[in-house]
Structure 1
Amino acid sequence: MTVIESSVELNLPIEKVYAFLADLNNHQQLMPEHIYNWSSTTDEASFTIQNMAKLAIKVSERIENKELIAIPTEKPPFDVELKWTVTDNGNGGTIAKHIISADLNMMMKMLAAKPLQSLADHQTERLAEVLK
């Protein structure tokens, strides 16, 4: 299993960050330009990744003010889990971590690891911009 992580520290309480992340409608604001055909509800989202694949995800688990896990609803090119965790930074702020776990063979890892890391980094950077 390939695990890709990106985190960001926000000067906001956990409850506010979690409330934003818990609604998949908000995740469109975190996506890079090469994600299009976005459609979402609070619990599900579907979109197309340019030159790659169409992906549909749904929230599989929510632990209030701790974590949110989304998994594909249709068979993707490889098994993947998208997780967001939020933890207190000790100063009233929040550390938000985006963790992408993907079951990649060696060939897929060579092709997909860098774009997945870029996606995770972009999403955490955008989270910090959107939730100023």
Structure 2
Amino acid sequence: MNLETNKTVINKSQKEFFEFLSDLKNFKELMPENTDKFEVDGDSFLFSLKGMPEIRLVVKEKQEFDKIVLGAASSKLNFSLTAIINEVSENSCETQLLFEGDFNPMMAMMVKSPLQKFINTLTENASKL
């Protein structure tokens, strides 16, 4: 299952936004309002949204200054969340989130809409930085 957000302009330079996302504590600012739990532990963070199970994301890859890949810490759920960051000008960049998950058809049908809403919220909140 592949999902993506619209490209969104961020009022930070490409390097600034890359460094912002590289500090996992900053993801708390991007999370939806219904976040129940958010904890950073080294190269990973754990979060849960109201009524949903906890999810731990781990930094899998960083490509200065245009790409950060986060992946599931658990082998039970195989997915990744990639932030693509493109320079627009000296003081702004454009970002897009790409979600790639390997789910059975039933699970994919259940999680598609909430996941799309979640990644859209992350990019919307990033645009307000």
* Cα distance in structure 2, aligned partners of 1:42 and 1:82: 18
Runs of 4+, deviation exceeding 6 Å: none
> 1:76-119 CA distances to partner (integer Å, 9 max, x unpaired)?
4x311011110123x43211111111112221121110101000
In the alignment, the residues of structure 2 paired with residue 70 and residue 12 of structure 1 have an alpha-carbon distance, to the nearest angstrom, of: 21
Q: In structure 1, give the amino acid aligned to 2:20.
A: F
Q: Percent identity?
A: 23
Residue type matched to 1:20 in 2?
A: F
**Cα contact 1:32–1:119 (8 A) shared by 2:** yes
Gaps in structure 1 of 5+ consecutive residues: none
Q: Is the 8 A contact 1:71 1:80 kept in 2?
A: yes
Amino acid in structure 2 at the alignment position of 1:80:
F
Number of the residue aligned with 1:33: 33
Q: Distance in 2 between matches of 1:11 and 1:5?
A: 21
Return the alpha-carbon distance in structure 2 between the equivalents of residues 11 and 17 of structure 1.
Answer: 9
Secondary structure at the aligned position of 1:117 is classed as helix
Are residues 1:70 and 2:64 paired?
no
Conserved? CA contact 1:22–1:42, under 8 Å = no
CA distance in 2, matches of 1:75, 1:49: 20
Shift of 1:12: 2.5
Instruction: State the number of aligned residues.
Output: 127
Q: Which residue of 2 aligns with 1:44?
A: 44
Q: 2:44, 2:32 → 1: CA distance?
A: 18
Q: RMSD between aligned alpha carbons?
A: 1.6
C-alpha separation in 1, matches of 2:30 and 2:73: 20
Q: Given that residues 23 and 42 in structure 1 are in contact (C-alpha distance below 8 angstroms), is that contact kept between their aligned partners in structure 2?
A: no
Specify the SS of the correspondent of 2:33.
coil
Shift of residue 15 of structure 1? 0.7
Q: Kindly provide the CA deviation profile for residues 37-93 of structure 1, in whole angstroms up to 9, marking residues without a partner as x.
A: 2101452101123323111111011111111111122234x311011110123x432
Going from structure 1 to structure 2, the CA distance change for 1:57 and 1:26 (only over 3 Å counts) comes to same
Instruction: Supply the distance in 2 between the matched residues of 1:9 and 1:3 (Cα, whole angstroms).
Output: 22
Listed as ranges, the gaps of 5+ residues in structure 2 are: none
TM-score, with length taken from structure 2: 0.89
**Distance (Å, rounded) in 1 between the aligned partners of 2:47 and 2:13:** 30
Partner secondary structure for residue 69 of structure 1: strand
| CA deviations over 1:109-130 (Å, ceiling 9, x no partner) | 211101010001100000011x
